[in-house]
Structure 1
Amino acid sequence: MEATVEMVKCACSDCVCVVGTVKAIERDGRLYCSDACADHHPEGAGCHHAGCECHG
């Protein structure tokens, strides 16, 4: 049996976002919802998705 994962939680520990594996941003083998999360929140930038207040 084979399982296909289509949605994952953003790899940013402070982020609550779930992102599609096709649209996710990959850095160092981890999947993120945005460039801000993938780049570890430079200058405190958040991902700006509704309901998420992550800033690294």
Structure 2
Amino acid sequence: MTDTVELVKCACPDCVCVIPADKGVKRDGRIYCNDECADHHKSGAGCHHAGCACHG
């Protein structure tokens, strides 16, 4: 039997987003919900997804 992971939590520690594994931004072997999280919020902006207040 093979299990397939379809949804994953964004790798940003402050982010609460859950995303399809194949749709996320992949960086350094981790999956993020968008470029802002993947770039560790260098610009200071959050991911801007509803209900999430992450800023890295």
Identify whether the pair has TM-score above 0.5, normalized to the shorter chain. Answer: yes
Equivalent position amino acid for 2:53 in 1: E
Aligned residue in 2 for 1:34? 34
> Unpaired segments of 5 or more residues in structure 1?
none
Residue 43 of structure 1, CA deviation: 2.4
Letter matched to residue 36 of structure 1: E
TM-score (norm 1): 0.96
1:19-40 superposed Cα distances (whole Å, 9 cap, x missing partner): 1011100000000001000000
Q: Distance in 2 between matches of 1:43 and 1:24?
A: 19
Cα deviation for residue 45 of structure 1 reads 1.0
**TM-score, L = length of structure 2:** 0.96
How many residues end up aligned between the 2 structures? Answer: 56
5+ residue gaps, structure 2, are none
Q: Which residue of the partner structure matches residue 5 of structure 1?
A: 5
- Taking only aligned residues, the RMSD between alpha carbons, in angstroms, comes to 0.6
